[in-house]
Structure 1
Amino acid sequence: MTRTLYLFCSAAPPVFEVAGAIEAAQSRGWDVCLGLTPTAAQWLADSLDGLAALTGHPVRYAYGMPGQPEPWPRADVMLFAPATFNSLNEWALGLTAKFTVGALAQGLGCGVPTVVVPCFDDAYARHPAFGTSVATLRTAGATVLYGTEADPRPEPGAFPWAAALDAVEGAPWVPGRI
């Protein structure tokens, strides 16, 4: 059975490595669907067609029109990496103006296992909203890889794609939740 991973990315420098992350997920047997925040889509504008070809699915960064068919298969697991301070807080608050945040909110509400890897300056992590948002998301069932012994924070300049995919592999998935 094919497993479907929704990979959502915010506009942080590791988004430029997303093709390698997709290939790594595919090598583990995942069918990957890529969703980007609008700014991440702008950053990757020249690569969107290639990323769609790599995944075999349209890259999404905006909501579809009502009545349009769903272009992606149902998600088994979701990975939000890199997750910026802004997008993570929007998600925790249920502010779903962005397609990626709306899909994450819906998936979490439907019980889709979700892994989150924050990516921002440590000064943002000291802001009180961040701790509240992490607690909210963890209470809702998300696995937030930050501030625990499972925290994959790498050496400066490296993003923990492999650790994120390991966490996805360990998620208790049930086929086709959303």
Structure 2
Amino acid sequence: MTTRTLYLLCSAAPPVFEVAGVVAEAQRRGWDVCLGLTPTAADWLEDSLSGLTALTGHPVRSRYKRPGDSDVWPKADAILVAPATFNTVNAWALGLTDRFVVGVVAEAIGKEIPMAVMPCVNSAYARHRALDRSLQELRDMGVEVLYGESGFEPNAPGEKRPYPWALALDSVDRLVG
């Protein structure tokens, strides 16, 4: 089996604490996983970063590399942005690339790398008009959006429920074939 490379890019939302199991499941599906985190997600997972690096076999990244530094990740065959917070979704749609995760996916649109995004927002954030506009903008740029009936459905603020990771992994499997 040929190994495919998946960039799994995560924002700081509660499902990020499940990322080790998601990496392991993606690896079982034949993916070589490179894990990228927003700065806050990296802070939340600080005690787990060395274990996640060992699990993936690649450095966990949350910052841009310096000019002249070599790439430490292989080229992506697909990208999954999950969980994607309100901030990450809106920054990506607007092209605000001050954070590594958003910069990777903004550039990946131009590189035509297959991508899926699954937001993780509560129903209060979901009522903000910017979210729908941003998700539509990402759809218009060719990103598969897993939201609403076809993906993550917003929960009430403070409500805990399972995040549909399998649906997200199924999506990138399908995108690459």
Counterparts of 2:176 and 2:12, CA distance in 1: 28
Distance 2:167 2:173 in 1: 10
1:27-72 deviation digits (Å, cap 9, x = unpaired): 0000000000000000000000000000000000000100000000
Could you tell me which amino acid in structure 2 is paired with residue 159 of structure 1?
Y
- Of 155, 160, 166 in structure 2, the residue corresponding to residue 162 of structure 1 is 166
CA distance in 2, matches of 1:64, 1:57: 14
Identity %: 59
Normalising by structure 1, we get a TM-score of 0.93
Instruction: Quote the RMSD (CA, aligned, Å).
Output: 1.4
Q: How does 1:1-178 map to 2 (within 5 A)?
A: 1-147=2-148, 149-153=149-153, 156-172=160-176
Q: How many residues align?
A: 172
Moved over 3 A (4+): 152-156
State the TM-score, normalized to the length of structure 2: 0.94
Q: Distance in 1 between matches of 2:62 and 2:81?
A: 14
CA–CA distance in structure 2, aligned partners of residues 49 and 87 of structure 1: 24
Relative to structure 1, the CA distance from residue 154 to residue 134 in structure 2 (aligned partners, 3 Å threshold; closer, same or farther) is closer
Q: What SS class does the counterpart of residue 15 from structure 1 fall into?
A: helix
Tell me by how many angstroms 1:153 deviates. 3.8
TM-aligned CA deviation for residue 154 of structure 1: 9.0
Which runs of no fewer than 5 residues in structure 2 stay unpaired? Answer: none
User: Which structure 1 segments of 5+ residues have no match?
Assistant: 174-178
Partner Cα distance (1:150, 1:83) in 2: 15
In structure 2, do the counterparts of structure 1 residues 163 and 43 end up closer, same or farther at CA, with 3 Å as the change threshold? same
Q: Tell me which of the two structures has the higher relative contact order, counting C-alpha pairs closer than 8 angstroms and 6 or more residues apart.
A: 1
Give the SS at the match of 2:150. Answer: coil
